[in-house]
Structure 1
Amino acid sequence: MKKGIYFISTLILLWAGACKNAPKKEENKDLFTLFVEDNKPFYSDKKGVFAKNGMVASAHEEASKAGIEILQAGGNAIDAAIATHYALAVVFPFAGNLGGGGFAVIRKNNGEFHSIDFREKAPLAAHRDMYLDKDGNVIEGLSLKGHLASGVPGSVDGTVELHKKFGKLSWEKILEPAIRLAEKGVILTEREAKGLNNYRKTFLEVNGDDLQYFVKPDRSDWKTGELLVQKDLAECLKRIRDHKREGFYSGKTADLLVEEMKRGGGIISHEDLRQYKSAWRKPLEGQYRGYKVVSMAPSSSGGIALIQMLKLVEPYPLQEWGWNSEKTAQVMIEAERRVYADRSKWLGDTDFIKVPIDELLSSDYLKERWKDFNPEKASKSSEIEGGTIPGYESQETTHFSVVDKDGNAVSLTTTINGAYGSKVIVKGAGFLMNNEMDDFAIKAGVPNMFGLTGNKANEIAPGKRMLSCMSPTIIEKDGKLFMVVGTPGGSTIMTSIFQTILNVIDHKMSMQQSVNALKFHHQWLPDRTVYEKGAFSEKTLEALRKKGYVMDQQSGTLGRMDCILVYPDGRLEGASDPRADNTSVGY
């Protein structure tokens, strides 16, 4: 009896939450039906954070607070994004970084869009076959762990360029929160303590037994609530504060980085650091059901993939079919399959190869890609290749979203790739290096750590940026800011964002409900769909399997979303993922 009462109470609460943000009563009929079936649509019942003056949604509460501190001091969204980025380098070493890179999409309150690519680059001494043995086979682990796995970092240059173009507060003021957190220490969450303990052996293996960073002197376990103080990192941040770009790419920090590379057989040189420059890119724009979707151009594959997926499913009545129903899931999986095949064939660094962006996003091309879709059965990835374009010659990341009181917005995704990157910690500077070289096609047709298969377009070349899945995205409705969205997750980034957008626009969820909603993913190869437990009803799973889909329940979770939704009355809803420590802070 108690179970029955509890079920009915839970149902009423879910129904009330769905109704709260719905524009029309009749649009909730399918959502209500969804709740009373055997699906449990949400990972948790976490509630969104609401504010009027500004919002920061990031992977760590202290980083979000750092961004809000800067907004309250009179900074704009760009200033707050930079402060959040540097704070994450201190409090979230799992992915926050000085030794990595990323992408940002910016919307000014006058409606102008900009984007910057501060992705890492291959060192000048890099070459196509650097991770292959004499027989041409991939040397396992060489592109993932240790000094040779690192590309030339771009994060510091990227944030300096952002501030130069759009900053309002002084650079020194913006760096204050991160320096304070490094000097005074950050209280370890349960997740962070566990992460440092799990990788202690690898940190010591890569850096030597005299390692002083991220491990305790007696090599005992970190405990939840303990203080992690990072004095060398604080000094490194002070050099960046005092000298901006030159405080990292030359002088003491550069010397320490190059010495570290030499010590471990890495190939990043002083010349690599001197030559590194971020690139301002023209953002990609698309339309979905009257909404303007703005995302990142290559060397990110995210923007092209996201817009392709949205265009492919737009003709279908997803709202009528319902969230994660058989028909909805099928067209989404088939869209994802074709888009990831295109990614493998066509995408790479546009400074090195010609990427046929306009052709890949054209309606005619996408109609051709969809011709072999059969609603009665699954396509086979072995029979799906990257599309033909006539005349053309051939997780672990972190994301945060920021909106200020004036309507400026930043969507920024940054990474060192795997958990704690290459595990290399620069001695004397206290920051981790990336293992982004694995994001190249280290050998055509061989999958990377995320199972993504690449080809010639993404081969290693000196000074080239490796292809990424990062997809920082901003959406407008009727010329007004509507949504800021993004996530880490390697190859699952694009599909997680894809679903989050559909959840709000088609399925009428609030921003937090959309983030909480259970997710699934297909990436062409391997030919299977992975899903979070509860993402599909047993009836839907049975129907999809009968059509030939391989459906595998994920042991973990998908996505770590940090998003912001703007309501018609100007309220901001910050939505941070319940799957980790992600936290939205507003004021």
Structure 2
Amino acid sequence: MRFLLLSLGLCLLLSSCREEPKINYSATKTADFSTAAVAGPHPLATKVALKVLQNGGNAIDAAVAMQFAMAVVYPRAGNIGGGGFLVYRDADGNSEALDYREQAPAAADRDMYLDEEGNVVQGLSTRGHLAVGVPGTVAGIAEMHRKHGSRPWKDLVGYSIDLAMNGYRLSQSEVGRIKRYHDDFAEFNKSTPFSDTTVVEGSLIVQPALAATLRRIRDKGAAGFYKGKTAELIVKEMKSGGGLITLEDLANYKPAWREPISKDYKEYRIISMPPSSSGGLCLAQMVEMLEPYPLSDWGFQSTPAVHTTVEAMRRAYADRAEYMGDSDFYPVPLDSLLDDDYLAGRMNDFREDSAGTSDAIVAGLEAVRESYETTHISIIDAAGNAVSITTTLNGNFGSKVMVDEGGFFLNNEMDDFSAKPGVPNMFGLIGKEANAIMPGKRMLSSMTPTIVEKDGELFLVLGAPGGSTIITAVLQTFLNVTEYGMPLAEAVNAPRFHHQYLPDVIVHEADALGNGVKEDLEKMGHQFRETKYMAVIKALQRLPEGTIVAAADRRNPDDDVKGY
């Protein structure tokens, strides 16, 4: 069997994008594979997943090995000190979701980031030891392997240990990020492998402390992280900087299997993540609100298509702010928020010729910022099992705190709670009581790992990093394929726009909303803010004859696809 590997650079593409008004959005990292495929954020980690598939492992096996490999070679976002979500569909069409989001420590309280006057203390929930939630990644990986893995745990973890001991070479983009956060590393750590100011492109990074941590996980499973030596190192690190996590917090952490969010859209069925993620719920709401409108007739990023899509985004994010949080702690009204009549009613005040205002759009039911430094992987194996996984540390290198002698960064996910209801987090997202801090509670997320069926058959596997823009990027990629007829690579790399209720602006990439569309929308009352780029999609599409198309995003030069 012929194995195809693809790892294409983007320098030529990005150069041409700056010089040419028209961009070939399909000229990026993409390939067709006959049997299995992986799309991920780093070529070395993607290569590990491919090896597992080639050796007869299934999609879960590949995901397990790949997630640990990312903790080694992608330290700004790949992690064992964070958390994430899995959406899984087996070859028979059965689907489920695993929530291994971080939790607030038992000593956390709703006002822990407020000063004496009740105002949010800037930086307290984003930097340093107090920003850290109880990590869920290792427990989540162990649980998905327990239920669906087919290859020995020790073998799958072993790939990451080899990478940590043998080292990997830094890319230019990684060097830039390391230098950018040097002062943060120095402030919160005695030393890290990434605090050396002499690092340059090609520098070899060897991580013996991380390798030792991974060996404990290899030998003892989740207990090798949540108990014993590693747990003691985490707690010691917490005490050194005023953090809250205790041995009891670690020992008590459990991931949760949940029923996925499902929503039909024409001949398609969207399967996505439920709370504690808002992603699947918002995505389902938006497609339902948009289904009655002739998007394909209007055309890609035409004035009416953008206007209507923005107004659906505005309404979904308003509901996100009011109603969404950890469903184990707050009665998220899922049935009501997904009700077809309710969602049709959400667009009753939509006007085709004028922008709505977020002051006027409130949550529709009666009362009863993830960063770009997230990772996503999409995998389809030879049997047809599909995995969509998004994990995160939240910000670049999370809290900037590395566990001394442990070799891994800890998250700053506590910022994804509503530090003060109504006050935006680092991504400008508003939350209310549903997402207030409580001990043991999971913070609300925008991560949107998603699988799409067409006429009951596997069709798309996709997701992204990108903070609050994840949900709208997944939406637009889906619509680009299904409504605007784009090949997958073009759909992934097409320019994007975003609206999240508050602030009341359309955020857009520089090459979006051309041909007078932005001017038309301004006349309708919309306001704008330009951004360099948004979420970074990794996607797979299974064609009717069985070919798998893999596409990675031009927005991240490290993205990679592999398959056979």
TM-score by length of 1: 0.91
Aligned to 1:422: 399
Query: Alpha-carbon deviations, 1:92-121, whole Å to 9, x = none?
Result: 111100000010000000110011000000
Q: Which amino acid aligns with 1:461?
A: M
- Say whether the 8 Å CA contact 1:122–1:460 is kept in structure 2: yes
2:241 to 254, 264, 279: 264
Shift of 1:552: 2.0
Aligned to 2:67: 85
- Say whether the 8 Å CA contact 1:39–1:536 is kept in structure 2: no
Shift of 1:533: 1.0
* Distance (Å, rounded) in 1 between the aligned partners of 2:377 and 2:273: 15
Q: Which amino acid aligns with 1:215?
A: S
Aligned to 2:191: 211
Do residues 351 (structure 1) and 331 (structure 2) align? no
* Distance (Å, rounded) in 2 between the aligned partners of 1:465 and 1:273: 14
The DSSP-based 3-state class of the residue aligned with 1:503 is: helix
Aligned to 2:101: 119
Query: Alpha-carbon deviations, 1:25-84, whole Å to 9, x = none?
Result: xxxxxxxxxxxxx97465562151111221110010111101011111111000001111
Shift of 1:194: 1.0
- Say whether the 8 Å CA contact 1:401–1:484 is kept in structure 2: yes
2:440 to 455, 460, 463: 463
Q: Which amino acid aligns with 2:348?
A: K
| 1:177-196 equivalent positions in 2, closer than 5 A | 177-196=159-178
* Distance (Å, rounded) in 2 between the aligned partners of 1:557 and 1:212: 29
2:81 to 96, 99, 103: 99
Shift of 1:213: 2.5
Aligned to 1:8: none
* Distance (Å, rounded) in 2 between the aligned partners of 1:285 and 1:40: 37
Aligned to 2:11: none
1:561 to 537, 540, 544: 537
Aligned to 2:9: none
Shift of 1:133: 0.7
Shift of 1:538: 4.2
1:444 to 406, 421, 433: 421
Q: Which amino acid aligns with 1:440?
A: F
2:491 to 509, 514, 518: 514
Do residues 242 (structure 1) and 219 (structure 2) align? yes
- Say whether the 8 Å CA contact 1:40–1:535 is kept in structure 2: no
Aligned to 2:284: 307
Moved over 3 A (4+): 38-44
Aligned to 1:9: none
Q: Which amino acid aligns with 1:156?
A: V
Aligned to 2:119: 137
Query: Alpha-carbon deviations, 1:340-375, whole Å to 9, x = none?
Result: 000000001011011110110111111221111111
| 1:518-537 equivalent positions in 2, closer than 5 A | 518-537=495-514
Q: Which amino acid aligns with 2:206?
A: V
Query: Alpha-carbon deviations, 1:558-582, whole Å to 9, x = none?
Result: 1111110001111111111111111
2:90 to 89, 108, 126: 108
* Distance (Å, rounded) in 1 between the aligned partners of 2:85 and 2:415: 18
Do residues 279 (structure 1) and 256 (structure 2) align? yes
Shift of 1:551: 2.0
Q: Which amino acid aligns with 2:553?
A: D
Shift of 1:193: 1.2
| 1:478-557 equivalent positions in 2, closer than 5 A | 478-554=455-531, 556-557=532-533
Aligned to 1:330: 307
Do residues 572 (structure 1) and 532 (structure 2) align? no
* Distance (Å, rounded) in 1 between the aligned partners of 2:262 and 2:514: 35
Q: Comparing 476-485 with 115-124, which one deviates more in the overlay?
A: 476-485
* Distance (Å, rounded) in 2 between the aligned partners of 1:47 and 1:432: 29
Q: Comparing 283-292 with 458-467, which one deviates more in the overlay?
A: 283-292
* Distance (Å, rounded) in 1 between the aligned partners of 2:269 and 2:287: 11
Aligned to 1:233: 210
- Say whether the 8 Å CA contact 1:260–1:427 is kept in structure 2: yes
The DSSP-based 3-state class of the residue aligned with 1:280 is: strand
Change (3 A) 1:361 1:60: same
Aligned to 1:253: 230
Q: Comparing 508-517 with 111-120, which one deviates more in the overlay?
A: 508-517
- Say whether the 8 Å CA contact 1:42–1:518 is kept in structure 2: no
Query: Alpha-carbon deviations, 1:184-220, whole Å to 9, x = none?
Result: 011111111111111111110111xx3133122xx32
- Say whether the 8 Å CA contact 1:41–1:518 is kept in structure 2: no
2:56 to 38, 63, 74: 74
- Say whether the 8 Å CA contact 2:467–2:535 is kept in structure 1: no
Query: Alpha-carbon deviations, 1:516-547, whole Å to 9, x = none?
Result: 11111110000000111111114111100000
Do residues 157 (structure 1) and 133 (structure 2) align? no
Kindly name which structure, 1 or 2, has the bigger radius of gyration based on alpha carbons.
1
The DSSP-based 3-state class of the residue aligned with 1:530 is: strand
Unaligned runs of 5+ in 2: 1-19
- Say whether the 8 Å CA contact 2:26–2:489 is kept in structure 1: no
- Say whether the 8 Å CA contact 1:398–1:487 is kept in structure 2: yes
Shift of 1:302: 0.4
Aligned to 1:168: 150
- Say whether the 8 Å CA contact 1:340–1:523 is kept in structure 2: yes
The DSSP-based 3-state class of the residue aligned with 1:382 is: coil
User: Identity over the aligned pairs, expressed in percent?
Assistant: 49
* Distance (Å, rounded) in 1 between the aligned partners of 2:62 and 2:548: 16
* Distance (Å, rounded) in 2 between the aligned partners of 1:480 and 1:313: 23
Q: Which amino acid aligns with 1:124?
A: A
